[in-house]
Each structure stands twice: as C-alpha cells, then as structure tokens.
Structure 1
C-alpha cells in the first residue's frame, strides 16, 4: 500500500480521519499520505442577482494551501518513519473528481471522516463522504468522529451472498487482506430467512472458495434491521473494521441512502471499509 489520500475540509472530523490515516499508514508501511482539499470557486451567473461575494481564485487557492500547510505541521509528529506527507489543493467538486484524483496519485486507499452528530452535520459532512464512496472505484475507509486508530486485527465482512463471483472485487479485497492478515468474520443478516434462496448455499461456498487462505468464519444471524444487526455483531466481536461491498442493486443499497436511521456509516463507532464491486 504505497499511497493513501485523505480529503479534508479542515474540520475536527477531518483531522481525526487524518490522524487515523497516519496510524493506518504505519501498519500498512505506506510511503505517501496525500492531504487533499477540493475548494469550490463560485462563479456568478450573468444577470442573476446574488448576495454571495465573488472571491478571487488566487486568494481561495492561497487560503486552501495555508490550511493544508497548517494541517501538515500539526500532523507531523504523528508521521510514521519513511513516509512522506504531501498536500494538494484544487478547484473541484470533490465527489465528481475523486476518482480522477485517485488514478492520478495512484492511490491505494481513501480515508475520510464522518460525523454522527446533528442532522445538519450529517448533511454538511456526511453527504460529501457518502458521495465520495459512490463516485470512486478506490477503496474508502470511513472514520467515525469518535474512532481512534488501533491496528486492524479483526474484520467483519457483511455480505448478502448474491452473485458472489460477479460482484466481489477479488483483487482489491485480497490486496487489503494480505496487508492486514486479519481474523475474518463473514456476516449475513436476514430475518426469518426472507432472503435465503436455493442459491444461498452455493453462493456461500463460492465466497469460501474466493477467500481460501484467509480462514473466514461464517455467521448467519436473524435480525429485523440489517444495519443494527451488523453494528451489534461487530461491536460484540470487537471488530476493528467493518467491510462492505456497496452494490448497485442489492441488500445493502439502502445503507448509503441519506436516511438517518439506515446509514451504517452514521451509526457505528467502528471504521467502515467500502470496496466497490
């Protein structure tokens, strides 16, 4: 794992995610951590009145770089040995451009913060993080506001056992598992076997085959709420990370809707790793 990108808006949530990323970089022997700030230049529309003051683009960029430099100085004492901390500032919408940034920087991982505070905080901070997950093919670790780094030794992989071979991103998944070498718990949440089909045993076998060498332990739990079932199990097992594969169509699709009651990312203090299918 050579490069981690840490998008920041200079909030305490972002600082916390950056501190987590530096701890993670030490465990992963990462050589580069990139602090990335995407600022938006508001361009006035002709003949449309606005109360928003027009900002000089150079002043906006200068303020962004100043914030990044301050953040770099404050994080400096936490840097792992033999790792470089770099800064990037660009006039972009973050979600729309994050995939391009990851490819350009040859990133292996994105680490971002999220808050489970007020509804306003969720809209301002959380929505950007969720949108990044949706718009990048790079794995993303979402760090809750109260999470502190501890080495990743135990992972709960929440899975719906649907089209396992077609939807499991085997290469990035194994790349991360090879780095962490965790105790791996594969979890399926269902209620009264409503999602159990004749294909489920076969799909379970296929996933077990894909994860050969990682000694997965399989758990099938009855729970009326998927999100609460995952968080309860992860907390009981003292997991260091929850892993999900957000599918375009599937059981976990609703996790990333902006409902306060159904966002897994907002309702766990355990960091969440999302790897796209």
Structure 2
C-alpha cells in the first residue's frame, strides 16, 4: 500500500494539507502517517516543570492526534496511523520515511511574508534538507485530479533523466499533460540541435503529452508565477538547488521562495 507522511501542528494551514492528503489517499488507496512534532508552550518552556507535568502535556497532544486520525478514517475510509515526537522535525520525518517506506511528505504551505523569504519555515527547511519529495499545499486548496503539470526547470543546470522519469510516472498515472517551463536571463542558441533540451524531452517523454516553453527574463520567480496564472496547472514541480551556508545567504533557493504564497500545490523532487 502507498504511504504518505502528513505533518500537522493543528494550524489552519496544516489542517488544510491534512484534508488534501486524506482526499488523495482515499482516491489512490493510500495510507496516511499523521505526524505531529510536539513543542512545549512558550510559557511552559520558560518555567521549571516536573516530568509528570510535561508527560501530561504530551499525552494530551497525542490524544488530540488520535482523535484527528479517527475522524479522518471515519470520513474518508482510509487507514491512518499517528506519530508524535518532541524531537527535531527534519530528523523525525526522515526516520518516518524510512520506517514506513513512504513515497511523499505532504505539508501546509505558509503564506508569503518577508520573514518567510529570509528565514524560511518548517516546510521550506524540509524541502531544502530532505532528499525526498515534499508536496506543499497552500491554505484553501482542495484536492482534485491532476490534469496539468507545470515543471519549472533550469535547463542550464541540465534536465535529469531521473526527474523526468518521476514526472512522467505522475503524468501517466493521472493521464495528465506537462508543460516544461524554463526561464533564462539570456536565451542562447545551441549549434548542435541534439544538445537542446527539447531534443532530450522528445526522446524521454514521447509517450505523454508535453509542451516546452522557454522565456528570456532575469525575474525568474515572477515569470514562473505569471506562467502559473496563464497555464493554470494543478501542481507545480521544481527541483531544489542546494547551497552551502554562505552561498545560501546570497542565493536563496528558487524552490524555497516559491513554497510560500502560491495558490497551487508545489511538489519538490530532489536530485
């Protein structure tokens, strides 16, 4: 059975992603692992609490998670297991992926803000750190069958066959079409047509319907968002670029920047 790791902190954004995942799981006959990384309330963490008091808070949170799982199982007819931890979110999600042999992590997508752009959030941090697909779902977006996929890529870094195979698999399972969208500061003509990205796409994606679109612009994020409005995809796919600490201060990941403030789910597929 297919397995999804779905995280929640019981906020509106996270709970919307839970509902999205549950609907998808009911259609795809998948199981959900509902995960909550419990954190002590600020007032409690600033005081000295007994072990009994801390355990009581943990038990109360776990009971809330159990009630949520029962509600999902009753309403959607799906299998739901729960996991709760006081440990680091990124480490725990990695452990759960391996433990349950999960295929994707589904999380809520935070709204856009200056703080999100500079510091990121739990979702964007997971996108950057996990070598695993993460689906970020915006608040208010409900699940619907995938018919249009926008793959926003950087052809100058190369289009990986591994990524194309994964995208093709998604498209074939939903009978969806794909638009491969590339933005470059300068469009450079290649003398050897065989090396052009469109040639590779033609060879690798001959069994599905796809389009290739190239735009010259130095406003990459803006152009991708404009294309989302034009193409109206059901999901946007991007491959996160990983930078070192100092480089990341200057070069914030395009995928991370996109994973806040969209109105369409963003699927991050790492190399």
TM-score interval, smaller chain: 0.7 to 0.9
Aligned length: 258
Question: What is the CA–CA distance in structure 2 between the aligned matches of 1:132 and 1:210, rounded to whole Å?
Answer: 29
Task: Decide whether the 8 Å contact of 1:4 with 1:30 is kept in 2.
Answer: no
Question: What is the CA–CA distance in structure 2 between the aligned matches of 1:55 and 1:270, rounded to whole Å?
Answer: 45
Where do 5+ consecutive residues of structure 2 fail to align? 244-250
Rate the CA distance shift 1:199–1:65 in 2: closer, same or farther, 3 A: farther
Question: What is the CA–CA distance in structure 2 between the aligned matches of 1:111 and 1:196, rounded to whole Å?
Answer: 39
Rate the CA distance shift 1:118–1:158 in 2: closer, same or farther, 3 A: closer
Question: What is the CA–CA distance in structure 2 between the aligned matches of 1:236 and 1:54, rounded to whole Å?
Answer: 55
Rate the CA distance shift 1:85–1:190 in 2: closer, same or farther, 3 A: same
Find the partner of 2:135 among 117, 137, 141: 141
Q: How does 1:162-201 map to 2 (within 5 A)?
A: 162-164=156-158, 166=160, 168-193=162-187, 201=195
Rate the CA distance shift 1:222–1:163 in 2: closer, same or farther, 3 A: closer
Find the partner of 2:126 among 132, 147, 158: 132
Find the partner of 1:113 among 94, 101, 108: 108
What does the per-residue CA deviation read over 1:26-46, in whole Å, with 9 as the maximum and x for residues that have no partner?
Answer: 34x13301111122479xxxx
Task: Decide whether the 8 Å contact of 1:133 with 1:274 is kept in 2.
Answer: yes
Alignment partner of 1:18 is 2:18: yes
Task: Decide whether the 8 Å contact of 2:149 with 2:237 is kept in 1.
Answer: yes
Alignment partner of 1:70 is 2:38: no
* RMSD between aligned residues: 3.0
Rate the CA distance shift 1:131–1:30 in 2: closer, same or farther, 3 A: farther
Secondary structure at the residue paired with 1:239? coil
**Equivalent in the alignment of 1:34:** 33
Where do 5+ consecutive residues of structure 1 fail to align? 43-49, 258-262
Alignment partner of 1:96 is 2:91: yes
